[in-house]
């Protein structure tokens, strides 16, 4: 009976964590470049059950007889748990904003890679300089210029160029005078040949196995080992395109997420009823064994 209580409780804990992931996905459905988290649930190891002091009779005699073999009843699981939250790096929908510093990544043409015998879809990111000097990675291309002319993210992190250095526009160039091509080259006054000049190039990195990345908050990811830029020696652009004046929406399907939340709540309530039934049984057992007087 107590095993049943533990199993139902483990289901509630697991569904609670899954609900938290779904809620976070729904809250970030309008966050540019956000990648949803999928909760991976697994069962605890199963145990074999056998009848005590009982032996299986197979009808064999002599040398083929199985003497002293315990009869097996089957397997039992001790519950379920949410092992981890895995981001889904599928391409989000590109929405036109016409803002000159909005840049969206399109990496759907990157070929799959075989890693440890499994097909994995690599993902591209913008590298940014974190406050502690390390490099973070984001898909949110809603950029702006700070007071010093640095190209920064919506949270103020400086965007790194292809040369691994922050991109800075020191001249009095207006945002509307900037153009960014599909490879990330930033040009000023592109429509005026007499004034056209190169400002820099937006850096891009490709994570061959994006599942190894770790969320660092503020729609940023971190890596234990620095990811190489596509412009580094020995690397090339595997099929990533940038689109100026566009923003990549999150890949959260709000309708499916709300449906999953309802299913999760129903499962949570079912486990509650199981615990309530066990509680009533224990109360009756206690009342039967109670001595009046």
Cα 128 to Cα 160: distance, rounded to the nearest angstrom: 5
Q: What is the mean pLDDT of residues 229-236?
A: 86
Q: Given this model, what pLDDT does residue 222 score? A: 95
How far apart (Å, rounded) are the C-alpha atoms in residues 192 and 189? 5
Average pLDDT over residues 89-115: 93
Looking at the fold, whether 125 and 27 belong to one and the same domain comes out as no
- The count of structural domains within the chain is 2
Confidence of residue 285 (pLDDT cuts 50, 70, 90): confident
Instruction: Answer with the residue of higher pLDDT: 281 or 52.
Output: 281
Alpha helices in the chain (DSSP H): 2-27, 254-289
* pLDDT higher than 50, residue 217: yes
Domain-located, residue 64: no
pLDDT of residue 7: 82
* Model pLDDT, residue 155: 92
Same domain as 181, residue 239? yes
SS3 64: helix
Calpha distance 29→147 (Å, rounded): 30
pLDDT at 289: 61
- Domain range spanning residue 6? 2-49+78-85+254-287
Domain identity same for 132 and 198: yes
Closest among 15, 217, 240 to 131, alpha carbons compared: 217
The answer to whether residue 67 sits within a structural domain is no
Same domain for 143 and 20, yes or no, is no
Cα gap 202→186, rounded to integer Å: 7
Query: Which pLDDT band, with edges at 50, 70 and 90, does 293 fall under?
Result: very low
CB atoms closer than 10 angstroms to residue 198: 9
**Same domain, residue pair 40 and 111:** no
For residue 35, is it within any domain?
yes
Q: Say if residue 216 is in the same domain as residue 259.
A: no
**Mean pLDDT computed over 203-211:** 94
Q: Tell me: the pLDDT tens digits for 264-278?
A: 999 999 989 988 888
Q: How distant, in Å, are the alpha carbons of 7, 46, 48, 275 from that of 75?
A: 14, 6, 5, 22
Q: Are 230 and 204 in contact (CB under 8 A)?
A: yes
Shared domain for 102 and 229, answered yes or no, is: yes
- 233 in the same domain as 195: yes
> Do 232 and 159 lie in a common domain?
yes
Q: Count other Cβ atoms within 10 Å, centred on residue 116.
A: 6
Distance CA 120, CA 211 (A): 9
Model confidence pLDDT, tens digit, residues 22-78: 999 999 999 999 999 998 877 776 666 666 655 555 554 445 545 555 666 667 666
This prediction's pTM: 0.79
């Amino acid at each position: 009976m107590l095993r049943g209580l533990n199993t139902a409780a483990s289901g509630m804990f697991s569904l609670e964590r899954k609900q938290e992931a779904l809620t976070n996905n729904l809250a970030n459905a309008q966050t540019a470049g956000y990648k949803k988290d999928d909760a991976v649930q697994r069962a605890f190891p199963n145990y074999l059950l056998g009848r005590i002091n009982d032996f299986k009779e197979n009808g064999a005699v002599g040398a083929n007889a199985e003497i002293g073999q315990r009869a097996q009843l089957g397997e039992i699981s001790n519950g379920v748990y949410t092992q981890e939250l895995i981001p889904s790096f599928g391409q989000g929908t590109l929405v036109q904003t016409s803002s000159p510093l909005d840049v969206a990544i399109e990496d759907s043409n990157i070929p799959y890679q075989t890693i440890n015998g499994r097909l994995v879809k690599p993902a591209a990111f913008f590298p940014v300089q974190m406050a502690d000097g390390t490099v973070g990675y984001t898909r949110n291309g809603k950029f702006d210029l700070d007071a010093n002319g640095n190209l920064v993210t919506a949270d103020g992190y400086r965007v790194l160029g292809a040369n691994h250095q922050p991109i800075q526009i020191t001249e009095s160039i207006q945002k509307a005078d900037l153009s960014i091509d599909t490879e990330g080259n930033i040009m000023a006054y592109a429509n005026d040949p007499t004034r056209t000049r190169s400002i820099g190039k937006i850096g891009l990195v490709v994570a061959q196995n994006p599942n190894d990345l770790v969320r660092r908050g503020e729609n940023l990811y971190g890596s234990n080992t620095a990811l190489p830029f596509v412009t580094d020696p020995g690397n090339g652009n595997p099929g990533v395109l940038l689109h100026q004046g566009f923003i990549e929406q999150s890949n959260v399907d709000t309708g499916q997420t709300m449906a999953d939340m309802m299913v999760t709540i129903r499962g949570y309530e079912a486990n509650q009823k199981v615990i309530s039934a066990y509680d009533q049984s224990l109360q009756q057992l206690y009342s039967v064994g109670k001595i009046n007087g």
